[in-house]
């Protein structure tokens, strides 16, 4: 069995010579097997091993028993031991999580803390084929897509799972007569995962004794196909990308909708993902809503989740923290540089040149102070060569969505709009040959 595990490690390049591995050890058969395997590889591969045990604050004396068991095990093997305690029931209640979710979250917080303290580079956990089957079924029951049905991956970032090629029965056979502890909560049906383990998988194995093995093979097939769709979606996203920053992403709808349906769904999910707290926040309904928006008419806006919105204007799809433009007005005095935070720009009106890049040269003799930088108001128009053009029309000509217009405010004096900053200058007020020049300098923040 050790050779089978070694082959799996090599296939997925899980461990390299000189790695320092943080090993999650609960004291159960899986984690004991994992530690045993790593100890077999330790000398030949020059591995550093640090054991981390997490007490979830749920099982009282039994948890203390497990901690002492793992601590003694490490002492006998001469391995560094670190223990973390979290009051998971309290944390779960405070953070609106199930105890399963909170336990998983804080286990990895502990592992990553130990990784940093020990200067480690990988985290090894004892997931096996049975865990993979439980994960696939749990996601299927709750609702998932192709990505979710891939189950547990052998490697994700710095997390490795060397036992994923083994069933629980094989692991118990590998451990043999060595002592290990049993978590009593795994024997009850109080948790969803336990119900799947103790009831559903048992029934599946009655139909096909190799059900767990077949689910594992299926997950590997789906993982390969998922990687292909992910690559295609990423390529399509870059093709459709108009602009991206930490607040929003904008996509060319014509480019998006030209893709196959499966690619469109993944593309939109990936576009929204950076603005969410966790990937599970993006559900089937959210992806469908974004698809309807992309394929639908301009001028629609929808709420997604946690302040994330999507909008379509001028055949551009916007996703992210979109805000309706709030009115603002800043007084601008000559020779005083001012920052317009809503627009993300600095502006300076100066009577002397050479302050940097500038918008243009105003003829101060034609102006009527005070000057201001502000949002559009009803009736605003800009002087052009033959008449006056409504500001709204200028935004429309430049396909500037309502969520983006605060980036293009108006420069005005007491009576006229002098310019739509970043889009258009007024015809009557700019004159590079003016005898009384007023230079307009604008510097935008980098997104």
Q: For the purposes of burial, counting CB atoms within 10 Å of the CB of 178, is it exposed (0-12), middle (13-18) or buried (19 or more)?
A: exposed
Is residue 183 located within the same domain as residue 80?
A: yes
Same-domain status, 156 and 25: yes
Q: Are 17 and 163 in a shared domain? A: yes
- Among 403, 392, 233, CA closest to 317: 403
Pairing of β 81-85 and β 48-55: parallel
Of 198, 193, 52, the residue nearest 136 (C-alpha): 193
- CATH code, domain carrying 86: 3.40.50.620
Does some domain include residue 313?
yes
- Asked whether residue 89 is domain-assigned, the answer is yes
Within this chain, do residues 312 and 335 fall inside the same structural domain, yes or no?
A: no
Q: Both 163 and 252 in a single domain? A: no
- Of 160, 187, 207, the position where a domain reaches its end is 207
Domain-located, residue 54: yes
Where is the domain boundary, 320, 339, 360?
320
Q: How far apart, in whole angstroms, are the C-alpha atoms of residue 340 and residue 390?
A: 23
Asked if residue 87 belongs to a domain, the reply is yes
Q: Which of 320, 349, 379 is the last residue of a domain?
A: 320
**Domains of the chain: total:** 3
* Residue 214 falls inside a structural domain: no
Local mean pLDDT, 10-residue blocks, the chain (447 residues):
93 96 94 95 95 92 92 94 95 91 94 96 96 94 91 95 95 87 62 85 95 96 96 97 89 96 96 86 91 92 88 91 81 93 90 77 92 93 91 89 86 94 90 91 77
How many Å is the Cα radius of gyration of the chain? 31
pTM of structure: 0.74
Beta bridge partners, 389, equal 382
Secondary structure letter of residue 392 according to DSSP? H
- 275 with 307, same domain: the answer is yes
For the sheet with 48-55, list strands across it: 81-85, 48-55, 20-24, 122-124, 159-160, 155-156
Q: What is the CATH number of the domain that holds 288?
A: 3.30.465.60
56 and 191 both lie in a single domain: yes
Question: What's the pLDDT at 182?
Answer: 75
Domain for residue 222, yes or no? no
pLDDT at position 187 is 53
Q: How far apart are the first and last CA of the chain?
A: 53
Residues 368 and 413 sit within 8 Å (Cβ to Cβ): yes
- Tell me, yes or no, whether 79 lies in a domain: yes
Tokens 């990423």, residue?
A: 234
The verdict on 180 and 309 lying in the same domain is no
Are residues 185 and 147 located together in one domain of the fold?
yes
The whole-number pLDDT of residue 340 equals 92
In a domain, 227, yes or no: no
- How many other C-beta atoms can be found within 10 angstroms of the C-beta atom of residue 138? 19
Q: Do 248 and 362 lie in a common domain?
A: no
Same domain, 112 and 194: yes
Domain match, 183 and 290 both: no
Quote the domain boundaries for residue 381.
329-444
Long-range contacts of 444-447 (CB under 8 A, 24+ apart): 444/344, 444/345, 445/344, 445/345, 447/245, 447/246, 447/247, 447/344
Contact criterion met (CB below 8 Å) for 41 and 160? no
């Amino acid at each position: 069995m050790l050779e089978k595990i070694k082959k799996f490690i090599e296939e997925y390049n899980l461990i390299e010579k000189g790695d320092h591995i943080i090993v999650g050890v609960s004291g159960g058969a899986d984690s004991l097997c994992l530690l045993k395997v790593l100890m077999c590889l330790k000398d030949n591969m020059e591995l550093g091993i640090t054991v981390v045990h997490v007490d979830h604050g749920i099982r009282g004396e039994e948890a203390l028993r497990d901690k002492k068991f793992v601590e003694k095990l490490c002492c006998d093997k001469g391995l560094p031991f670190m223990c973390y305690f979290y009051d998971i029931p309290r944390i779960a209640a405070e953070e609106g999580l199930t105890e399963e979710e909170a336990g998983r979250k804080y286990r990895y917080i502990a592992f990553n803390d130990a990784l940093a303290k020990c200067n480690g580079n990988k985290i090894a956990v004892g997931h096996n084929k049975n865990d993979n089957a439980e994960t696939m079924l749990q996601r299927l029951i709750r609702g998932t897509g192709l990505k979710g049905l891939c189950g547990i991956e052998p490697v994700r970032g710095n997390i490795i799972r060397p036992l994923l090629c083994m069933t629980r029965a094989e692991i118990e056979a590998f451990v043999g007569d060595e002592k290990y502890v049993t978590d009593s909560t795994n024997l009850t049906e109080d948790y969803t995962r336990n119900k799947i383990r103790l009831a559903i998988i048992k029934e599946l194995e009655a139909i096909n004794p190799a059900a767990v093995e077949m689910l594992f093979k299926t997950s590997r097939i789906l993982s390969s196909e998922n990687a292909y769709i992910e690559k295609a979606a990423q390529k399509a996203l870059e093709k459709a990308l108009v602009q991206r920053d930490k607040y929003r992403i904008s996509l060319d709808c014509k480019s998006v909708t030209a893709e196959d349906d499966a690619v469109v769904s993944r593309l939109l999910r990936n576009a929204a993902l950076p603005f969410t707290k966790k990937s599970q926040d993006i559900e089937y309904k959210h992806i469908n809503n974004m698809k309807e928006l992309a394929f639908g008419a301009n001028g629609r806006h929808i709420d997604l989740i946690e302040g994330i919105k999507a909008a379509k204007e001028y055949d551009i799809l916007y996703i992210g923290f979109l805000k309706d433009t709030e009115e603002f007005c800043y007084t601008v005095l000559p020779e005083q540089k001012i920052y317009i935070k809503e627009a993300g720009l600095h502006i300076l009106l100066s009577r002397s040149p050479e302050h940097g890049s500038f918008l243009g040269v105003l003829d101060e003799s034609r102006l009527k102070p005070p000057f201001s930088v502000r949002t559009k108001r009803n009736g605003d128009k800009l002087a052009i060569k033959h008449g006056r053009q409504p500001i709204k029309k200028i935004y429309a000509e430049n396909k500037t969505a309502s969520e983006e217009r605060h980036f293009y405010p108006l420069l005005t004096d007491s009576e006229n709009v002098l310019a739509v900053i970043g889009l258009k200058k007024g015809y009557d007020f700019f004159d590079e040959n003016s005898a009384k020049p007023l230079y307009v300098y604008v510097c935008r923040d980098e997104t």
